[in-house]
Chain A
Amino acid sequence: MSDLLSSLRVALATMAICVAGYTAVILGFAQALTPISANGSLITNDEGTVVGSRLVAQAFSSPEYFWSRPSAVDYDAGGAGGSNLSPANPEITARAEELISAHGGASADAPIPADLVTASGAGLDPHISLEGALFQAPRVAEARGVDVSEIERRIEGRAVKPGGPFTAGRIVNVLDLNLALDADLAAPAASQ
């Protein structure tokens, strides 16, 4: 009996300090020092509408935008997830074939980068590889009516090594890149 009563007292103490106290401290710290990332790294447009989170991939299908990696949950940031398919599963093959044709085809000489045909862990990967962006550059350039070098210059400027010397390849944040294109290159709807 004394065990139960004492257990309840210890439960109450840990609940008060490790849950209420700890959460309050971290919450206060985050909201005071990093309010933007603490609330989900949201991006707002000039009218004040939230257009997405810098950290969360969104669906792009128009030709004038760079497209994100495929998402097993259709970019649902309220219920994220991966495909969980075995790497030998024929569904991966079928999905890749569909995506290759959507991207305008690929060949053995100009293969499509693997990240553009594989679903990420959470289905919300905000990045594509530098190669994945360059692969899409001709389509975006044509849709926006500009020279492909204009697009490639903007990709290069935004490609980073995510872990510095600890990572090999460079990656590009898709939403950032698309917002930059919208900011200084007219979308076809506006130019027509």
Chain B
Amino acid sequence: MEHILVVTLIIGGTAFLSLPLGTYMAWAMDPGSTSPRGTRFTTLFERVGGAGATAGQSWQRYLATLLVFNVVMFSVSFAILTLQQHLPLNPDSKGALDPTLIFNTAASFTTNTNLQHYSGEVTMSYLSQLAALMWLQFVSAATGIAALAALARGIAGRETIGNFLIDVQRASFLVLLPLALLVAPAMVLLGVPMTLQGAVQATTLDGAVQTISRGPVAAFMTIKQLGTNGGGFFGPNATHPLENPSFWTNALAMIAIILVPMACVWMFGRIIGRMRHATVVFAVMTLFLLVKIGAAVTFESAPTAALTDLPVAESSNLEGKELRFGATTGPLWAVLTTSTSNGSVGAMHDSLNPLTGLVPMAGMWLNATFGGVGVGMINMFLYIIVAVFVAGMMVGRTPEYLGHRIEAKEMRLAVLALFAHAFLILGGTALFAATPWGQSAVQDAGAHGFSEILYEFSSAGANNGSGFEGLGDGSWAFNIATGIVMLLGRFLPIILPIAIVGSLMAKRRAVESCGTLGVEDTTFGSMLAITVVIFGALTFLPAAALGPIAEHVSLP
């Protein structure tokens, strides 16, 4: 019963909030020339940006600017992390970091992944946490929202797709910052710490000495969730009682995880002027989300397998879970955080029952059932292109999407992007499963160890950031390999879809007629869902069989 209540509260409540937010985001990202306040902000952002932030850009130029800005993001954070031991705001005297870890961490936070091969309270100074990592949590999320706005403008048939440096400021200052200023104070009032004082030594009742790490957690954990970043202030992320002290911070965090990804679908619909189409896409995404939640909650209600022969009271699997969140939220969070490329964890995923662990992996493989802020909808756009093309072929007509002709060139780019996602995950997994780089890092040999490697590369490729943390992933080999996978897994699925839109913009747009394939009805919704399952999920079925499914059938 409480399962249904919690899911209704979180999913229903957030879906309800996402609609007005999507309308607001469409205004914030794409104010048009008729909104005087929007024009004032645009003028301000032009002034801040200077020469490179004045005019509309071609799609090639937009992407070039996006990449230049991301190089700046990477370089600034790399410099701060490298120098942290010499910089201020380091009350606990954190030392120098390993160079491959710095590369991995800068790549991870620049790409909105937040895969963490370190433990925040052990490794990072407060300055590194705030000025390197939290800064990237804002601007990497803003990069994704900007890219979606550009994509939507192209589909809407505007003259240009916009200016990246204006878009990234709109997303940072008008979308993410106001949301963070609403949510972070609520987190503070619900008990999340926010201090610049260093760790404290406590003398426990039983006479031991306990070091308790603290920090500016509330500000950090808020944007971590809102921007689908997911990187924890503390090592164990949102299971840590100082990062997530109660049921209510946990519930608010789950809402924050899916709010902006949901609103992005509505923003897309508003900018292209096709809200009925957005509704169909939203419905398909919600359907996948609910199926995954149902599966995960059911699988996780089974007891911990290792305890079956002992005199232990009947219970759901509590290994790696915190009691204050209740029984539903471990698996629910696991689904939300991997459906959205967030990657924060509210329970230890490595200790999930094997089939439950498969559900987050499936979420990362699809990466479009809401997906990351901005980029989730962009990934779904790829599936839409494929679905439209296949549907057009089935009825023997030139495939059109909202009057744009989808031809061989667009299909090639879409399939390349979808294939790259699968190749990065499966190629990385195969390489590490076959070599000592991976074999010596797993916690148990066999199916579970394979799952650990598969999960790690799925997480890097999908820019998720969660992990089966029993894996010893702090080695140079994992740092470099996942760093490269994260960078390719981030920028290919931004560059290729925008190139598709650039190609569509160069063609004459056909007039939609009654013969055009409709994208606003249940037929199209079913077609889209089938495409996602066939292209997204079936690619990974063999790997799933070797990992979590093999582990499940071998359970005692």
Contacts and interface: CB of A to CB of B under 8 A. Distances in A.
Do A and B associate with each other? yes
Contacts of A152: none
Interface string A86-122: 1111111100110010000011101111110111111
A33 B190 CA distance: 11
A30 B326 contact: no
B323 A51 contact: no
B303 A125 contact: no
- Report which residue of A58, A78, A124 has the largest number of chain B beta carbons within 10 angstroms of its beta carbon: A78
Contact of A120 (B6, B172, B196, B323): B323
A2 B204 contact: no
A52 B345 contact: no
Contacts of A82: 236, 239, 319-320, 348, 350-351, 469
Nearest to B212: A77
Contact of A39 (B6, B139, B197, B206): B197
A127 B200 CA distance: 21
A30 B65 contact: no
Interface string A27-48: 1011101100111111000000
B489 to A, nearest CB: 22
B2 A166 contact: yes
A17 B177 contact: yes
Interface stretch (B49-57, B401-409, B511-519): B49-57
A10 B49 contact: yes
B470 A86 contact: yes
A89 B310 contact: no
A19 B247 contact: no
A5 interface: yes
Interface string B420-462: 0000000000000000000000011000100000000000000
B235 interface: yes
B30 interface: no
A148 interface: no
B183 to A, nearest CB: 10
Nearest to A19: B135
A13 B76 CA distance: 13
A18 B241 CA distance: 25
Given A38-B188, A84-B470, A7 B165 contact: yes
Contacts of A91: 306
Interface residues of B, number: 120
Nearest to B142: A14
Contacts of B197: 39
A57 to B, nearest CB: 8
Nearest to A45: B203
Interface string A5-26: 1111111011101110011011
B169 interface: yes
A92 B195 contact: no
Contacts of A146: none
B443 A75 contact: no
Interface of B: 2, 5-6, 9, 48-53, 64-65, 68-69, 72-73, 76, 119, 121-122, 130-131, 134-135, 138-139, 142, 165, 168-169, 172-173, 176-177, 180-181, 184-185, 188-189, 191-197, 199-206, 208, 210-214, 216, 218-219, 222-223, 234-236, 239-242, 245-248, 251, 303-307, 309-315, 317-328, 345-348, 350-354, 443-444, 448, 468-470, 551, 555-556
Interface of A: 2-11, 13-15, 17-19, 22-23, 25-27, 29-31, 33-34, 37-42, 49-53, 55-62, 65, 69, 75-93, 96-97, 100, 106-108, 110-115, 117-129, 131, 162-163, 165-169, 171, 175, 178-179, 182
